[in-house]
């Protein structure tokens, strides 16, 4: 008896490998109008990239396209100059090696120290090199960048002008009130306060031709104080007004401890402003712990502009007063 040959049919095995797999299912679904063009076993209607991601994470993208500096190669040479018995070194050539990256946020300001001609917007710029305080009259000062300004991070405490000449210390009240030349004092005539608050100076010392701050530094002008305040968020119109101005600029400058009346700040930039108080035109001391006062170098008729911070106020005060007053001083690095 002849037996007919039996054939087993697997209706969903479209590729004929005797296994019904994901590929067969894709083929089946294609009959209903969808597809898997990139053959990644993900139905195109559900695939977030029909194709392939490049190294920058872009679907079917071209890959890194942004130039970035890899290395700057500088070749130097030197020559001996017999007349001065020394070697002179000079730059012979320079080459910049580049590579491609996905993105290159950097500094796009050509006057900045870290300017990158290939950068995209979004990077921070630095100016004027490192912000390092000087050593002056035997003391080394801390300094801090705020914006593109380099400030002392503590109050001046010098006993001499920049040229080395002495700043007279005046303790008596009547003698202080009769001054028309530069002078200094310690708060309450107590040298123990210098370590915390620095020293106090009348405006005649600020205006002295010998220079109150060390070489390369100066007492900031009224306008330079405004630059600082606007860097912290104050509007230009507020900065040019008098009295209490701004929102929290004073809080950003004040130290995190040392202020009375719950008036400590957040010291966002390391300026560390402390309430060193002041000395009145008649010689009396007042307000340490509650107020801090700082001179500017800008006169206003027979007065001079200054800044002040108060423990329970978040803003920054601007006013002008008698040059006989004694206030703290912050030095600002000269523009390059």
What is the distance between the alpha carbons of residues 41 and 26, in angstroms, rounded to a whole number?
A: 7
pTM over 0.85: no
Over 90: is that where the pLDDT of 113 sits? no
Read off the pLDDT of each residue in 266-279 and give the average, rounded to a whole number: 97
Q: Give per-residue burial for 317-330: e unless 16+ CB within 10 Å, then b.
A: bbebbebbbbbbbb
Flag whether pLDDT at 125 surpasses 70. Answer: no
Average pLDDT in the 16-32 region?
65
For the chain, percent helix, then strand, then coil, each to nearest 5? 15, 30, 55
- DSSP structural state of residue 41: S
Asked if 262 and 329 touch (Cβ cutoff 8 Å), the reply is no
Cβ–Cβ under 8 Å, residues 254 and 263: yes
Query: Residue 1 above 50 pLDDT?
Result: no
Mean of all residue pLDDT scores within the chain: 87
| C-alpha dist (Å) from residue 286 to 201, 255, 279, 293 | 14, 20, 6, 11
**Residues 60-86: pLDDT tens digits?**
888 888 888 866 766 666 676 676 566
> Which is higher by pLDDT, 46 or 151?
151
**pLDDT at residue 122 is higher than 50:** yes
């Amino acid at each position: 008896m002849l037996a007919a040959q039996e054939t087993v049919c697997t209706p969903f095995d479209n590729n004929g490998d005797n296994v019904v797999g994901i590929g067969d299912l894709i083929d089946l679904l294609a009959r209903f109008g969808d597809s898997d063009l990139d053959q990644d076993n993900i139905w195109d209607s559900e695939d977030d990239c029909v194709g392939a991601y490049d190294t920058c994470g872009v679907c079917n993208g071209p890959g890194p396209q942004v130039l970035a500096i890899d290395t700057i190669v500088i070749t130097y040479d030197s020559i001996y100059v017999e007349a001065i018995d020394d070697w002179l070194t000079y730059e012979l050539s320079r080459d910049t090696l580049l590579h491609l990256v996905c993105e290159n946020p950097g500094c796009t300001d050509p006057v900045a120290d870290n300017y990158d001609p290939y950068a995209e917007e979004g990077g921070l710029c630095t100016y004027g090199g490192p912000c390092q305080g000087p050593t002056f009259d035997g003391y080394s000062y801390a300094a801090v960048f705020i914006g593109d300004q380099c400030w002392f991070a503590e109050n001046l405490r010098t006993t001499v002008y920049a040229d080395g000449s002495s700043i007279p210390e005046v303790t008596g009240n009547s003698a202080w009130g009769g001054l028309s030349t530069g002078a200094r004092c310690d708060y309450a005539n107590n040298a123990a306060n210098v370590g915390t608050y620095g020293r106090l100076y009348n405006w005649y010392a600020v205006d002295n031709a010998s220079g109150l701050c060390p070489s390369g530094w100066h007492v900031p002008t009224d306008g330079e104080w405004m630059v600082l305040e606007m860097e912290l968020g104050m509007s230009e119109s507020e900065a040019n007004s008098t009295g209490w101005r701004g929102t929290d600029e004073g809080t950003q400058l004040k130290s995190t401890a040392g202020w009375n009346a719950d008036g400590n700040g957040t010291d966002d930039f390391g300026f560390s402003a402390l309430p060193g108080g002041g000395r009145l035109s008649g010689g009396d001391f007042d307000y340490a712990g509650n107020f801090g006062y700082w001179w500017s170098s800008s006169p206003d008729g027979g007065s001079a502009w200054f800044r002040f911070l108060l423990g329970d106020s978040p803003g920054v005060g601007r006013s002008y007063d008698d040059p006989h007053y004694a206030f703290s001083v912050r030095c600002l690095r000269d523009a390059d």
